[in-house]
Homo-oligomer: A and B are copies of this chain.
Amino acid sequence: MRKRHSPETYQKGILSGDRVLLSQAITLVESSLESDQGLASELVQSILPHSGNSIRIGITGVPGVGKSTFIEAFGKMLLDQGKKVAVLAVDPSSQLTRGSILGDKTRMEGLSTDKRAFVRPSPSGKTLGGVSGATRESMLLCEAAGFDVILVETVGVGQSETAVKNMVDFFLLLMLSGAGDELQGIKKGIMEMADALVIHKADGDNFEQSRKAKANYQNALHLFAESGKSWQTQVLLASSISGFGLEKVWDLILEYEAKMKSNGFWMSNRSVQRLNWLEDQIQFLLGQTFQKNPKVKKMLELERPRVQSGELNPGTLAKKLIHLMFSNS
């Protein structure tokens, strides 16, 4: 077992902005070790009064859209404005794909070597529930350490978008211009979640096409219903090479913040997110306890193929498994 500090050591370190202790604290909340659970809970609870004072921004988009490049350029602009920026990631598939775990670190060179920034890859070897729980708590730790903009990147393709949407204040979807089929590859549900669409790589030969794409997206968005929080999803252009549009993206986020704080949505949304987080974690821990049960595991392995083939009724097996779990464990 790795060496752990006392909760007070972590707490003091984090509140004084000690990056090494912040990193170690995040490792603690990411830990799957039974023995770390109590300490991690205590630590997060202790810094809670110092959390919450950041703008939490989720950033998503298909692979190839340039999420890391955007975060690098956008983050650097924020640093130059005097902000302290933390970058977190949610990548439930990282264990298998090993996608951008190391990649991000090296690609975001400017950010990860800058003292005012903090770049942390996604916890690895975890399911979505584990990753998103750890990232949410890491976000609180970063806030307590004084970071005032948290960028949360979705890395995996799949359900991580919903998980990230549920932990941020503002959700940004990066897109590319294309030949009329701009929405190719984007799950329609994702567009619905976005507070802003940013057409990325709007530079050079791409610029004209990006402007057209912007108009197309705006039309498409008008077809859809409003979200009920009096905010119409905006479409913007940006280039991480030229820096074009990055300030407009930030201005829009600030406009959103001001509007949502004045109409009460900002705080009520965070309250709802906390309750959702509670439910998610309960569900995740219940599922984990279920899957760890050796008797359950054995029956599931044995009977799952029979459910798949249609021989055994899923509801019947579910009831049996639950009975088995609670009979004498």
A224 to B278 alpha-carbon distance, docked (Å): 34
Contact residues, A122-151 vs B (CB, 8 A): 133, 136-137, 140
Cβ of B188 and Cβ of A45 under 8 Å apart? Answer: no
Question: Measuring CB to CB, which residues of chain A are less than 8 angstroms from any residue of chain B?
Answer: 37, 41-42, 44-45, 48, 52, 133, 136-137, 140, 180-189, 191-192, 216, 220, 222-225, 270-271, 274-275, 277-278, 281-287, 289-290, 304, 307-322, 326, 329
Interface of A is mostly: helix
Q: Which residues of B contact A304 (CB under 8 A)?
A: 275, 278
A317 to B45 alpha-carbon distance, docked (Å): 10
Cβ of B137 and Cβ of A41 under 8 Å apart? Answer: no
A32 to B118 alpha-carbon distance, docked (Å): 51
Q: Which residues of B contact A321 (CB under 8 A)?
A: 282
A316 to chain B, nearest CB (A): 4
Cβ of B310 and Cβ of A270 under 8 Å apart? Answer: yes
A63 to chain B, nearest CB (A): 14
Cβ of B307 and Cβ of A274 under 8 Å apart? Answer: yes
Q: Which residues of B contact A320 (CB under 8 A)?
A: 41
- Do A322 and B45 form a contact, CB below 8 Å, given A188-B192, A188-B224, A189-B188? no
Cβ of A315 and Cβ of B44 under 8 Å apart? Answer: yes
Q: Which of A180, A313, A317 has its CB near the most chain B CB atoms (within 10 A)?
A: A313
